[in-house]
Amino acid sequence: MTVVEISPLIIFFASIITSNMILTNFLGMCSYLSISSEFKTASGLGKAVTLVLVITTVINHLAYRYVIVPLKLEYLQYIVFIIVIAALVQIIEMAMDRFLPDLHAKLGIFLPLITVNCAILGVTLFMVIRSYNFIQSLVFGLGSGLGWWLAIAALAAIREKMAKTKLPKGLEGPGIAFIITGIMALAFIGFSGIFTIQ
Amino acid sequence: MAETVKSVISRNMWKDNQVLRQILGICSSLAVTNLMTNSLVMGIGLTFTTALSSLTLSAMRNLIPHRIRMIVQTLIIAAYVILVDIFLKAYVPDISKQLGPYVGLIITNCIIMGRAEAFAQKNPPFLSFLDGLFAGLGYTTVLLIISFIRELLGFGTLFGFNVNFIGFETWTIMVMPPAAFFIIGTLIWISSNLLAKSGKKKG
C-alpha cells in the first residue's frame, strides 16, 4: 500500500476537515444527533470523544501489530477491538475519577455512552485498512476526534440559535438536523482540493 | 404488552421504522447508499445479524446475569458480524472491499443493540427472531429507497445497469456525502407527515 508515505501532518488536517468522521464518513451519528441540542453538553461530549479516540486508536494499533498479526488472529479482530475499547473506557473513567475529579464531574456522564459510539470502532478499522504506522495512527486518532468535536459543536450552536424558529411540520428535530449537516458537509468538502487521504 | 406476529411486522416496517422513525443505524445507511448493490448486501448482512442475535439473546435471556449483559450482547453480535464479514470476503470480495469498515461497524449499529435491549430481553425466541428480521428488512427498504435516488441521479444506473436512455446529465453531488444527508432529512420529513395524516384518519 502506498498510504504509508502520507505525512502525519496531512493526515491530521485531512481527518479534521476533508475526511471528517461525521460529515464524510457518517460515523458517530447516533450521539451526534441526540446530544446536539445544547452547545455546552455537545462540546463536553466532543472533548470526551477526542480523549478516548486518541487513546484507543493508539492501543488498538499496538494490539493489532503486536498481538493480532503475529498470532494470525485477524478474523477475531472485531472482538479484540471491541473489548479493548470497552475496557479502556472503563479504565479512563476510573482513573479520571481518582486523579482528575473536576474533569470527571464534567465528562463522566459521557464516557459510558462512548463505548457504543461507532466513530471509535470506525477510526480503528480505517486505521487497520489503511495500514497506518504508529505516528500516523496517533495523529489520525487525534484529528478524527477534533473533527468530530468541531462538527458536533457547530451543529449544537446552530440548533441553539434556531431553537425558536418556525419550521414546517414534521421537519423539526432530526429532519432539520440532517439538512443542516448536509449543508455543513458541502462546506467541508470544499476543502478537498487542498488535501485528501482517500 | 403482548405482541402478535402481525403487530411486530407492521411496527418494524413502517410505524417505528428503525431508520426513519427511531433515527437508529444512520451511519451505515448513509455511507453505503451511493450504489444499490452495496445497499442490498449491507441490508442482508444487517438483517441476518439482527435476526440471529435477537434469537440467541432471547433464548439466553434468563441465563445472562443482568449486570454484564451489555458485554455479552456485544460479543454475540460480534460473532455474527464476523460470520457475515468472512462470508462476504469469500463470495463477493469486490463489494466487501467497497463496504470497507462498514461491515465491521454493524457491531456498533444501534439497531441491533436497540432490538436486543428493547425486545429480545422480554420476549420468547421466535417472536424476537421475527422482530429482528423485520427490523432489518425495514432498514433494508429505507436503504434501497435512498440508494435508488442516489444511484439513479448520480450515475444514471440501477444495480449497475445503465438506465440513462435519454442522455440525462448525472449529478455528481448525489454520489457525495452531503446528498445523503439531504435525502434522509427529506425522507424523514415525508414519512412523519404521512404518519401524522394516517393517524388523524383513524383517531
Query: Is B157 part of any domain?
Result: yes
Q: How far is CA A188 from CA A31, A69, A154, B24, B150, in A?
A: 20, 36, 12, 24, 20
pLDDT band of residue A198 (cuts 50, 70, 90) is low
Helix (H, G, I), strand (E, B) or coil at A39: helix
Give the minimum alpha-carbon distance from A99 to chain B in angstroms, rounded to a whole number: 26
pLDDT, tens digit, for every residue of B81-127? 999 999 999 998 888 888 888 888 888 877 888 888 888 888 888 88
Q: Are B117 and B123 in contact (CB under 8 A)?
A: no
Q: Does A143 score more than 70 pLDDT?
A: yes
pLDDT, tens digit, for every residue of B39-95? 999 999 999 999 999 999 899 888 888 778 878 888 899 999 999 999 999 998 888
pLDDT, tens digit, for every residue of B164-186? 777 777 888 888 888 888 988 88
**Cα–Cα dist B177/B34, whole Å:** 9
Q: Mean pLDDT across chain A, nearest whole number?
A: 84
- In this complex, the residue of A78, A86, A120 whose CB is nearest that of residue B81 is A78
Query: Is A76 part of any domain?
Result: yes
Contact call for B81 and A177, based on CB within 8 A? no
Residue B56, H or E segment: helix B36-59
Q: Where are any strands of DSSP class E within chain B?
A: 157-158, 161-162
Residue type, B11: R
Count of all residues that appear for chain B in the document? 203
Picking from A28, A185, A196, the residue whose alpha carbon sits closest to that of residue B173 is A185
Count of all residues that appear for chain A in the document? 198
Contact call for A78 and B24, based on CB within 8 A? no
Write the Ramachandran bin of B151: left for phi over 0, alpha for psi from -120 to 50, otherwise beta: alpha
pLDDT band of residue A5 (cuts 50, 70, 90) is low
Measured between beta carbons, the chain A residues lying within 8 angstroms of B107 are 78, 82, 121
Strand-pair category, B161-162 with B157-158: antiparallel
In a mutational test of the B interface, the residue from A17, A20, A29, A121 whose CB has the highest number of chain B CBs within 10 Å is A29
- In this complex, the residue of A25, A82, A169 whose CB is nearest that of residue B107 is A82
Contact call for A75 and B82, based on CB within 8 A? yes
Q: What is the pLDDT of residue A141?
A: 92
Measured between beta carbons, the chain A residues lying within 8 angstroms of B179 are 182
Query: Is B6 part of any domain?
Result: no
Query: Is A115 part of any domain?
Result: yes
In A, what residues contact B, Cβ < 8 A? 23-30, 33-34, 75-79, 82, 86, 116-118, 120-122, 125-126, 129, 168-171, 174-179, 181-183, 185-186, 189
Contact call for A169 and B196, based on CB within 8 A? yes
Query: Is B2 part of any domain?
Result: no
Asked if the interface predicted TM-score (ipTM) of this complex is over 0.95, the answer is no
Q: Mean pLDDT across chain B, nearest whole number?
A: 84
In a mutational test of the B interface, the residue from A21, A32, A77, A82 whose CB has the highest number of chain B CBs within 10 Å is A82
In a mutational test of the A interface, the residue from B69, B173, B175, B181 whose CB has the highest number of chain A CBs within 10 Å is B181
Domain count, chain B: 1
Q: Which residue of A has its CA nearest to B21?
A: A174
In B, what residues contact A, Cβ < 8 A? 23-24, 26-28, 30-31, 71, 74-75, 78-79, 81-82, 85-86, 100-101, 104-105, 107-110, 113, 176-182, 184-186, 188-190, 192-193, 196
Contact call for A78 and B177, based on CB within 8 A? no
Residue-range definition of the domain harbouring residue A60? 3-191
Query: Is A197 part of any domain?
Result: no
Give the minimum alpha-carbon distance from A104 to chain B in angstroms, rounded to a whole number: 23
For the record, the C-alpha cell of B31 comes out as 455511507
Query: Is A179 part of any domain?
Result: yes
- In this complex, the residue of A78, A182, A186 whose CB is nearest that of residue B104 is A78
Q: What is the pLDDT of residue B201?
A: 58
Mean pLDDT over residues B129-143, rounded?
A: 90
Q: Which has the minimum average pLDDT: A13-22, A140-149, B2-11?
A: B2-11
Q: Which residue has the cell 404518519?
A: B195
Contact call for A30 and B26, based on CB within 8 A? yes
Query: Is B5 part of any domain?
Result: no
Domain count, chain A: 1
Residue-range definition of the domain harbouring residue B192? 11-202
Q: Are A140 and A57 in contact (CB under 8 A)?
A: yes
Give the minimum alpha-carbon distance from A137 to chain B in angstroms, rounded to a whole number: 16
pTM of the predicted structure, to 2 decimals: 0.84
Query: Is A11 part of any domain?
Result: yes
In a mutational test of the A interface, the residue from B27, B107, B176 whose CB has the highest number of chain A CBs within 10 Å is B27
Q: Are A49 and A55 in contact (CB under 8 A)?
A: no
pLDDT, tens digit, for every residue of B138-152? 889 989 999 998 888
